[in-house]
Amino acid sequence: MKCANIAAAAIAAAAVSALLATPSAHAASCPDVEVVFARGTTEPPGIGRIGQAFVDALRDEVDTKAVDVYAVNYPASTDFPTGVQGVVDGSTHVATVAATCPNTKLVLGGYSQGAAVMGFATGDAVPAGYSVPPGTPLPLPSGVADRVAAVALFGKPSPKFMSGIGAPAVPLGSAYVNKTIDLCAGGDPICSVEGGNSAAHSMYAGNGMVQQAADYVAKRLV
């Protein structure tokens, strides 16, 4: 996530100023709820298998509400420093929706590398030694947290994992801690310190945790 790796994300940062200046551009199509989700490493563009299972479960829980989805745009590759592109894109989109859709409730989510992306997007500060393009809404502007109903993270990389790739531990902003469900499957080596079951990292859609997160989020949307 060094500054040299964030040049490609500058377009997103430039776009946010224009969007924030023209709230009417999105007001007409604002949903009741918008899920902003970052997929896991090597998943194809979109919100990924875990993200889709989560959104499907959430829609079943809040079937009277219109739920839109935004897939955070980033490579999700094994070149982990490029994850900063997702931090920039995700925070930019969240700030834009908060500014243009005053009645929309936001739900932030991520799986694996995507959980790290969303964690950094909510952070109270940009980690020391790192930089983001000018105009990027990081840390997220004051008041945005009030618009975020919940955060759902699956298999968030542990401090041990992040240290192993030369990155800081994944933060979670103080304004988001009490509205976050942070799930780690037993034995998952990405999110747990002693985990040794690599298969566990792909089991969130089938081990009940996606439904657990949907139940948690639905209660916070009431």
Strands lying side by side in the sheet with 33-38: 67-71, 33-38, 105-111, 148-154, 180-183
Share in percent of the chain as helix, strand, coil (round to 5): 45, 15, 45
Active-site residue among 89, 93, 188, 192?
Answer: 188
Q: Which of 95, 42, 34, 94 is nearest to 59 (CA)?
A: 34
Longest distance between any two alpha carbons in the chain, whole Å: 50
Catalytic, out of 91, 93, 112, 158: 112
Are 111 and 190 in contact by the 8 Å Cβ rule? The answer is no
Catalytic annotation present for 201: yes
Catalytic annotation present for 112: yes
- Angle (CA) 129-135-139 rounded to 5° is 55
* Count of CA atoms in the C-beta half-sphere (13 A) of 95: 25
Strands 148-154 and 105-111: parallel
Q: From CA 14, how far away is CA 21, in angstroms rounded?
A: 12
Residues serving a catalytic function are 112, 188, 201
